[in-house]
Structure 1
Amino acid sequence: MPFHLHFGEQDLLRCRFAVSPLWETQAAVRTLARPERHGYHLPWLRRIRGAADGIDLRPLWALMPESGHNPDFFCPPPQGPASTFEEEIALVRGTPVTTARDDIAAALADAPGGPDSPVGRALLKDPARTVQRLADLLEQAWHALVEPDWPRLRALLEADVAYHSRRLAEGGFERLVGELSPRLAWQDATLTIVGMRGDHVRVLGGQGLVLMPSVFSWPDVVSGYEPPWQPAVIYPARGIGGLWTRVADRTPDAVARLLGRVRADVLCALDEPAGTTGLAQRLLLAPSTVSAHLAVLRDAGLLTSRRYGHQVLYERTPLGMALAGSDPDNA
């Protein structure tokens, strides 16, 4: 059944983008239990397998049924465009007991075994303790599974936000919706999400909508969030195809001979806009080295730069795209 989110005039004015490390953490946990997602993240899976085996993720998986309700308090929509994991997990730990109990019960009702299973009874017996236990597990998962790669992930997510913010300014909300995912449609002030399990209708009522790109939810679109949470739509981030690959493997030899190997790798790594820290992490270089090469490439007219949030994002100019071997019309 499709989900329907009904907009009023004020809702369109209050749509915003956000990046959530907590969302990516719980989505990474979910990915471990979803073999159909493994193909997108094989290098990551091979690297974190030992760390994942050291965490008992079963209480989290028990509340992640493949169809039906998943707890909203796991990952409430971030309050700002770039909240830290510490800020987000603090909100989880502060979840009211009644809210947690209802959320847990709703998830267990859709899970195998239901609330009367041994794990279900254990989770419902003391909701306050359960919230802290789940927050502890999410924190362990963050440090072991996501934090080591967060500069790379954040760079891709922020590049997606920068790209779609520009597209929103150029074409408006209706055009943006069609570009986020083919499963999203806009008609008569209603955003429809096709292919969701269950039936969900919500009038936004002036709260607006949070739009969040996601790596580990790719290629799915996720939505929901019952009151008091702000409505949100999580959509597949752009550029995931090159996320885990070595940039050097994609740098043309001719470009390397012209610019030098390292500088050419920096240019060719910018399939999506990125900042110095994210590029350095991907290229296994010192940030100062990457910064120096970015400055040269920008001065040569191959890159442009603009500030987004806490960092400066670099992207290729049409000349830089042509040199790197990409099509400017499809960038």
Structure 2
Amino acid sequence: MYRLELTPQDLVTSRFAISPLVETMHAQLVLDGRQPAPLLTDWAERWREPYRRLRARHHGLQVMAAIIGAKGVANVDFLAPPPTGVDVPFETELAKMRAVPLEQAHAEIRQALALRPPVDEPTRRLLFGADIVELLAEGMQALWTEIVSPGWPRFHAVLQRDIAHRAGRLAAYGWAEALEDLSEHVRWISSGHIEVDMHSEGEISLGGRGLLLLPSVFGPKVGAYLAEAWPYALIYPARGVAAASREHRDLAGLIGRSRARILAELSGPATTTQLAALLGQSPGTVGEHLAALRRAGAVTGARAGRHVHYSRTPLGKALINPSTLRP
């Protein structure tokens, strides 16, 4: 277990962020079958064979397995450095990865290999070669471009909604409420500490640097960046990944597939633009479905600045989950 000590300055500087590069790294773990993703079974089945063909062409994707843990724990942080902002583009993150000094890359690789069974000599030569950083970057670029980016609008909308939910709880109720349902492995201690159940242990004072909180659609468990070389960061499972369950598809026969999907996605408030990204439809089309659901009393809208955030009404909740009805 890690115990993170937060000062008042840490509480002010801590923030949420989205990292397409971190998500790309976790996507590879899912497609390799080394990280479970029961809520993304359809996505994994669709892309597993294209990924295998892609991996066969890129040595970087092949050797990455040697430095990422069998249980999905990455000990080589330079593969996906924590982002510097809320919505940093993939290309900017990849450029930061490419700028990692070769000495640091080799040091992190050496530390990771010390915890694993020996690798074969050809793989070892690649890992400690002069072009290993570029080799891995090329693999990540290909994986993002051909596999992850087609679904990124939907993934991004899920991550945005998770951040909006937690940021709202943080602003209204404080850190204890914001972290309450983040993960069973994360606990807020009233003395100003966060406890994180992980494979390692230690006590770390953030020292005013703050904590970066990264939701993930691919990561089923909590992960962390706790090395001095990088910003301190905590990766956790995002809410709302599994919007399309069997009961939602059954509901489609009653009110139509798109409207059933909208109700399913409204496990938390969302805007028309976010829902359009999640469904892969135009904002105009989604707006028409929302208007119909609103007239039927299944959803309601509340304006916040320039945006209207939609949520389920009691009727909408009952349509999604009939067990909420009382006899």
TM-score class, shorter: 0.7 to 0.9
Listed one character per residue, the Cα deviations across residues 284-313 of structure 1 (whole Å, up to 9, x for unaligned) are 5333311343456568873325679xx957
Distance 2:20 2:156 in 1: 8
Listed one character per residue, the Cα deviations across residues 212-250 of structure 1 (whole Å, up to 9, x for unaligned) are 1111111x110133123110111111122226x589615
State the partner residue of 1:122. Answer: 126
CA contact 2:30–2:44 (8 Å) conserved in 1: no
Distance 2:6 2:161 in 1: 27
What SS class does the counterpart of residue 65 from structure 2 fall into?
Answer: helix
Once the two structures are superposed, the pairs formed by residues 273-292 of structure 1 within 5 Å of their partners are: 273-292=269-288
Deviation larger for 37-46 or 294-303? 294-303
Once the two structures are superposed, the pairs formed by residues 139-288 of structure 1 within 5 Å of their partners are: 139-187=141-189, 188-194=191-197, 196-218=198-220, 220-242=221-243, 249-251=249-251, 256=255, 262-263=258-259, 265-288=261-284
Once the two structures are superposed, the pairs formed by residues 127-142 of structure 1 within 5 Å of their partners are: 129-142=131-144
Listed one character per residue, the Cα deviations across residues 107-129 of structure 1 (whole Å, up to 9, x for unaligned) are 22223215x74312321131xx1
Equivalent in 296, 300, 304 of residue 303 of structure 1: 300
Distance 1:45 1:69, change over 3 A: closer
CA contact 1:303–1:320 (8 Å) conserved in 2: no
Count the aligned residue pairs. 315
Distance 1:138 1:60 in 2: 10
Distance 1:265 1:232, change over 3 A: closer
Shift of residue 279, structure 1, vs aligned partner: 2.9
Listed one character per residue, the Cα deviations across residues 103-150 of structure 1 (whole Å, up to 9, x for unaligned) are 221122223215x74312321131xx1111101101111122211111
Q: CA RMSD in A?
A: 3.0
The residue type paired with residue 26 of structure 2 is A
What TM-score do the two structures reach when normalised by structure 2? 0.84
CA contact 2:2–2:195 (8 Å) conserved in 1: yes
Distance 1:53 1:306 in 2: 46
Distance 1:139 1:169, change over 3 A: same
CA contact 2:5–2:193 (8 Å) conserved in 1: yes
Distance 1:247 1:286 in 2: 25
Distance 1:78 1:295, change over 3 A: farther
CA contact 1:246–1:283 (8 Å) conserved in 2: no
Q: Between the two proteins, what is the percent identity of the paired residues? A: 34
The residue type paired with residue 314 of structure 1 is H
Shift of residue 41, structure 1, vs aligned partner: 2.2
CA contact 1:247–1:269 (8 Å) conserved in 2: no
5+ residue gaps, structure 2, are 56-60
Distance 1:69 1:161 in 2: 23
